A and B are shown apart, each in its own frame.
Chain A
């Protein structure tokens, strides 16, 4: 009994693992093509996880498994948001995947394994557990992208994703091994202590740091390590793109927090310079290249790169304020990205991917409500008030100003102006152009409700951003108190 209760911070992970295993077996016995039961079980597992996470919440920071695993406010908040976005992703993609014969038990199980991977990443406090979580997530994602076996473009992008992802993991491991060599520890807090108080081998430490940052940049898709992003976003079935573009960004944020902030805060001078280069390049390349795209998934890919650059601006500020704003940015980005990809899936139907910009022409005439939701999402991505995307940019810029990075802020602002152009173009296509087809849109009631909630959330959180902002700021603050 004592053992069981001591495991309580990890109940959610354990529960999810049990559920995935059960679902894998149950699914074998279900011949039903629609997989309704499996789908419901998956949603129930996610709901269960959220309940457990809330129920097992404890104030303060709890370590367990020999300091491998940590439970703090930030991890709980990020996990809850992860469940939510995975669940939303499943609702959006159900009919899309069913029309393509991809709504299989494997898909659902892989999604849950990826979720488990993210949870481990979010709660890891040791380089090894971080890495384990990361690889569980990455392997599931590789397989998800490759799930559409008969599509040449999907297999190709899975291949690219796998090779570049493996290389990034290699970088990370190499960097971590050097950090281990320099500090003699893999534990996040120990590493920080040794760097702060001990006498580590500084060149080795910085060398390791450079590799770790490169690996992180790969995973985040920051320029110049971004090459895989457009191909994978474009090639993968839209549902998988949505998955890659949403919840894992939260996990990636946690990863950056654990490894750069918690373990290597004393080296901030070194990594904030590196992040600055990554951030500026990402914002520049992402925003400028996105303009030239005709495929909306590719466009979103480049826009993701730019958004990650913006998030890095928050982190490189190196203040609690900055980390909080970066977390807020990540959360808001996930919300917008779910809506954006959700819209692509809503407009597509069997044998037709609504993935070129022209497919959005005249949407206002075909469905004013959907067009309005997309308008909100696009203005939010562009960072125009009163949508929540504005506050994401605002809080990040505010942190950067506070940290004295005024030139960086001006640059970020100019690049986001360039970025506004391609978001506006979507609005232009929807509202100012005539539709290419007048075919009626058939939209499942659940996804249509969800897109409305998603779009209105972007607006309502924009009008009343206080709560979400404070939640992010407070949770980062709490988890950094040792």
Chain B
């Protein structure tokens, strides 16, 4: 709470209320009004989250801005919200992207505008709920509820194969979630009737086996969302079919939710199982980094390429988590934030091209720089950031994770560092084929450069990518205390006898 206002509730409910308001504008005759209300809601939604950052006490790992009310008394479930140094960044990231997505869909979406905008606003609120919930059931409700708008977004505004992608997305993620629910029920009974996540953190479990089973149930939920190899296959499908805004939110926000789950649930609740299964987690992460990086090299579709690149980069994140040191952990968290900015920006770039040419195939392009110099410059920056160029945000996280990995095991670091090569290879090769060379065909010849609306979005993203790359301290220092606390949890065995 600050000035007596429940900021976290505002971060959740303000976008949702605006989403409903947008829905109420009705059909496409009022599209303009729908867009304006959506933008106002999204910007307000971002503004209310800023005090979370400015008013945050960096010295403590305690939950801040806590709100607590009874919700379902029968099961001792509370409406309990709070942020620590880790979740506050994700709330900001999410709220930051909502206005960008609204602006990006401003003219592109012509059919059912109100529903489109409302879906994004509602999802934004629900995702904030996921990041700030301190009650496991509340978390679960937000976690599941955010699938519904995403399902609709992919299925209604997506590409030709959207139905398959939407169903696959929903069922894959639901499978994981349901097993997590079973784990939560188990913990509820073991803890003597509490759904408080923080109570779970301090609770011992009867045996390592029990911990491992709980870990696996959580793993099912979170690994699908991250997504980790081998349950990643829904992501390229979902990305390719989703509209631009959907891809941006998927990559920038939805993937982070899975990784966040590892931090908030798996590692502090089942530290012994985490240690026990760390080799598996590291192996899967490295496979994601190396193998998926190679897969990305062979893609002919730009969106697919960036989707695979996301999986590869998220492999870095899980690697950073499971080497259990501060460098790895903080690097992974910075990598998550930075990947949000970069992949979001890349999907927006591809969206810009797709709006004009209606193709995402690399072969349909060539020589775009001749017609769209400003766009090419922005695209260049984001492509460089994606390949981890120092000075961009992409470098900071990867570098720290590799540092952490060296401490753990040289070969981990060796394998992980290959991403710097593969990442540069696939990103820059794509960039070269699309942007440089002679003008490939009539479509490209008739391209117009980006307008002021698109420019605004790219400028904002460029500033953040460069800013975070040159001066990452504001992002890093807010999480120190919480990361240290997490490492303490991880170092404490929690098995009885």
Contacts and interface: CB of A to CB of B under 8 A. Distances in A.
Contacts of B170: 420, 424
B284 interface: no
A397 B151 CA distance: 26
Contacts of A465: 72
B186 interface: yes
A364 B116 CA distance: 13
Interface string A425-465: 10110011000000000000000000000000000000001
B115 A420 contact: no
A401 interface: yes
A390 B138 CA distance: 12
Dominant SS at the B interface? helix
A386 interface: yes
Contacts of A424: 151, 167, 170-171
B181 interface: yes
A385 B141 contact: yes
Contacts of B163: 428, 432
A294 interface: no
B217 to A, nearest CB: 9
B182 A469 contact: no
Interface stretch (B84-92, B172-180, B199-207, B433-441): B172-180
Given A401-B189, A421-B167, A431-B155, A379 B178 contact: no
Interface in B43-77: 71-75
Nearest to A410: B182
B225 interface: no
Contact of B175 (A364, A390, A417): A417
A101 B402 CA distance: 76
Q: What bracket does the count of chain A residues touching chain B fall in? A: 35 or more
A417 B178 contact: yes
Interface string A86-100: 000000000000000
A402 interface: yes
Contacts, number: 88
Interface in B352-400: none
A252 interface: no
Interface in A460-474: 465-466, 469-470, 473
A409 interface: yes
A365 to B, nearest CB: 8
A395 B181 CA distance: 11
Contacts of B72: 391, 465-466, 469
A420 B71 CA distance: 27
B235 to A, nearest CB: 19
B255 interface: no
Nearest to B178: A413
B152 A385 contact: no
B178 A398 contact: no
Given A417-B174, A420-B171, A386 B181 contact: no
Interface of B: 27, 71-75, 112, 115, 137, 140-141, 144-145, 147-148, 151-152, 155-156, 162-163, 166-167, 170-171, 174-175, 178-179, 181-182, 185-186, 188-189
6 contacts: A375-B148, A384-B144, A386-B144, A397-B182, A413-B178, A465-B72
